[in-house]
C-alpha cells in the first residue's frame, strides 16, 4: 500500500506538471491509449473469448461514466493543489458505500451513516465553502468523485461475472473510444516529451493498481486502508517541494477525518464478514 500510494502520487505529480498545455480530454485520451497498449494481451484474450450482451450494457455504462470521471479529474488536477485533489478523492469509498446501499440493497446501519456524515464533515473542512471561493477545479474534482464512485459500483456488479483483468482491460478500451471524439474536437499538437510523460502516467497508474491488489491479497482491508492516508502526506510534500504549493493544515485535517471514516467503515465490514464466516458452536463438534 505504501508503494501504491507513491505510484498514485507520481500520477498526480506528472499530470500537475503537464498543467493546462493540453486539454483535459486530450490528456485523458492519451493516458488511456497508452493503457490499452499495456493491456493489449489481456484485451485480445477477453474479446476472443466473447462477452454476453447483458454484460456489454454494463461495460458500456461503466465506460461512459468513467470517461466523465477521468475528464473531470484531469481538469481539476491541472488547476488546484495536488493535496486538495487527493483529499477530495478520498470521498470515493464513502460515495460507493452510499451507492451500494441504494442500488444493491446493502444495509446502511447507524454506524455507517455516522461514518458517512463524518466523511462529509471532512470534505467541508478541506473545501471550506463560504470561507473561500471554490474554483472550477474544486467543482470538477467533486464531480469526479461522484463519477468514479459510479464507475466502481458498475465494477462491483461486473465482478460477479467477469475477472478483474478483463474488466480493467475493457475499461481502458471503452474510455479511450469514449474520449476519442472529444479529444479530436479540442486537439492541439503534442510533443514527444508530453507523450512520454503520459506514458509514465499510464505506467505508474498500472503499478499502483498492481501494488494495491497485492496488498489486498496479503492483508485485510482493515489493515491496508489506513495506509492510504500517507498518500495525502506524499501529495502535500510533492506540492510543497516541487510546485511551491503551501501546506494547508485544513486539507491535512479534513483528509485525516475522511480517511478515519473510510477506515472505520472498512473495519466494520471486515468484522461483519468474519462473523458471517465463523461457524456456529455446534458446527465445530464432531
**In this predicted model, what pLDDT tens digit does every residue of 20-37 receive, in sequence order?**
888 989 999 999 899 898
Whole-number pLDDT of residue 176: 93
Distance (Å, rounded) from C-alpha 238 to C-alpha 244?
9
Whole-number pLDDT of residue 159: 77
In three-state secondary structure terms, 132 is strand
- Report if residue 243 sits inside a domain: yes
Task: Sort 144 into a burial class: Cβ within 10 Å, 0-12 / 13-18 / 19+.
Answer: buried
Range of the domain at 173: 2-280
Whole-number pLDDT of residue 221: 55
- Report if residue 241 sits inside a domain: yes
- Report if residue 9 sits inside a domain: yes
Which positions of the chain have pLDDT values less than 50? 278-286
- Report if residue 33 sits inside a domain: yes
| Total number of domains constituting the chain | 1
Q: Specify whether the CB–CB gap between 2 and 208 falls below 8 A.
A: no
Whole-number pLDDT of residue 285: 38
In three-state secondary structure terms, 78 is coil
CA dist list (Å): 67 to 10, 75, 156, 216, 255 = 21, 12, 17, 26, 25
- Report if residue 286 sits inside a domain: no
Distance (Å, rounded) from C-alpha 6 to C-alpha 234?
7
Q: How far is CA 188 from the centre of its chain?
A: 27
- Report if residue 82 sits inside a domain: yes
- Report if residue 135 sits inside a domain: yes
CA dist list (Å): 87 to 1, 26, 221, 242 = 17, 25, 19, 18
Distance (Å, rounded) from C-alpha 146 to C-alpha 227?
23
- Report if residue 123 sits inside a domain: yes
Amino acid at each position: 500500500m505504501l508503494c501504491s500510494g507513491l505510484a498514485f502520487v507520481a500520477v498526480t505529480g506528472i499530470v500537475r506538471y503537464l498543467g493546462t498545455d493540453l486539454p483535459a480530454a486530450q490528456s485523458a485520451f492519451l493516458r488511456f491509449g497508452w493503457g490499452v497498449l499495456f493491456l493489449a494481451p489481456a484485451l485480445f484474450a477477453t474479446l476472443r473469448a466473447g462477452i454476453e450482451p447483458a454484460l456489454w450494457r454494463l461495460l458500456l455504462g461503466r465506460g461512459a461514466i468513467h470517461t466523465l470521471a477521468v475528464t473531470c479529474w484531469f481538469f481539476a488536477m491541472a488547476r488546484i493543489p495536488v493535496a486538495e485533489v487527493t483529499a477530495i478523492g478520498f470521498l470515493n469509498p464513502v460515495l460507493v458505500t452510499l451507492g451500494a446501499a441504494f442500488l444493491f440493497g446493502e444495509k446502511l446501519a447507524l454506524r455507517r451513516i455516522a461514518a458517512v456524515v463524518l466523511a462529509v464533515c471532512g470534505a467541508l473542512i478541506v473545501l471550506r465553502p463560504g470561507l473561500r471561493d471554490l474554483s472550477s477545479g474544486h467543482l470538477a474534482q467533486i464531480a469526479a468523485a461522484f463519477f468514479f464512485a459510479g464507475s466502481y459500483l458498475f465494477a462491483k456488479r461486473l465482478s460477479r461475472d467477469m475477472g478483474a483483468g478483463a474488466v480493467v482491460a475493457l475499461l481502458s478500451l471503452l474510455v479511450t473510444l469514449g474520449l476519442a471524439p472529444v479529444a479530436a474536437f479540442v486537439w492541439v499538437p503534442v510533443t514527444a516529451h508530453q507523450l512520454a510523460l503520459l506514458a509514465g502516467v499510464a505506467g505508474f497508474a498500472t503499478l499502483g493498481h498492481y501494488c494495491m491488489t497485492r496488498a489486498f491479497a496479503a492483508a485485510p482491508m482493515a489493515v491496508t486502508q489506513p495506509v492510504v492516508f500517507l498518500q495525502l502526506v506524499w501529495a502535500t510534500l510533492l506540492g510543497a517541494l516541487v510546485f511551491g504549493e503551501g501546506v494547508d493544515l485544513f486539507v491535512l485535517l479534513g483528509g485525516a477525518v475522511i480517511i478515519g471514516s473510510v477506515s472505520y467503515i472498512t473495519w466494520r465490514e471486515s468484522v461483519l464478514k468474519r462473523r458471517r464466516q465463523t461457524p456456529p458452536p455446534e458446527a465445530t463438534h464432531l
